[in-house]
Structure 1
């Protein structure tokens, strides 16, 4: 599997999704209550191939079997997230709660609409799939951010923004309750090159090209330098 490095699904590859020119994937944000607070499972991809050396959540494409018995796109993506988590990390997840949906820019060569789901771990030992995953670790969002800011690990925007949201939660119960209480947001990413670097933008930002927000409105991730800065107001 290979794809350009862009703000797209954590694990691109696969079959056609519901929509012209875009495919479907599912990602599981697996959580547990750790000694230092909420932790999530992150997997490091190999040095070659898709998202080389990046730390990602388990997940991947929707296969034909994932559509069996699924009533809609979200259910198919949920099935893929469950299956891929088992295949990549060797652990079970169930009762997944929809968290977000990510859509890459139209110019992305291989596009995946990826549903993110929160899931609680069930005490299984993690066994990374050799050749597909080089390393696995349970991290607090703060630890992941600190390592990213120091250049010690690589993240892509969907993973970074998801970790940013998890900073607000102290426990798995709290994170699941908040995710299950509202509508599932869709992040249709647009990229903007600036003289100092790149930024990702989403609906509501004043510079968002499709439906700009009000003057001064912000919904962007500034990636000019480390640490990245998320602005939303």
Structure 2
């Protein structure tokens, strides 16, 4: 999904071209499936998504027309404070709850009530290891439920926990779904949205109107959570939207 892009066995699209437009560095990604021109600012990077046959001049003119908006968003992202490092006593969002992190003489992460005990050392790595293990049953149950509600349960082969830096989830043509471990820190509604988003790819490996109709049938308010990922997803550590 970065969006929650589906992965398939098809050949990969060419890498982005790098342009200098109106004093801005812009990555240009073209796709034969795209019908509209769009701009995105993520991680201090401007990306233009364009239809494959759109003239370069049209893309450049669009970027120039939006340069004030682009500079504003770049400035906002650069001025955001970095998230505080995890340490003893830190609060930790986890599947709709708030746990308290404690460094303790343990060999691996372990939850005791509302406390997560982790070994000393690289606390962030210990938290990630524990989280990836702890979220899998919940992730699997969610995807299985949404796949069943969509009538696609038989197409689901398995659910795994993902770690990609630029997508919240993925679905392969073979029926393998991944959800990012950091979704455990998002509102539960966002986790549900991404689980549904990927389950719907079991029916449509694209983002066509038919695909979005499947999503809307199960979650009419999905746009709200899609937008949440666009607005806040990078704060959790993934440069992708919903």
Shorter-chain TM-score bucket reads under 0.3
**Structure 1 length as normaliser, TM-score?**
0.24
**Structure 2 length as normaliser, TM-score?**
0.24
Higher strand share: 1
Higher helix share: 2
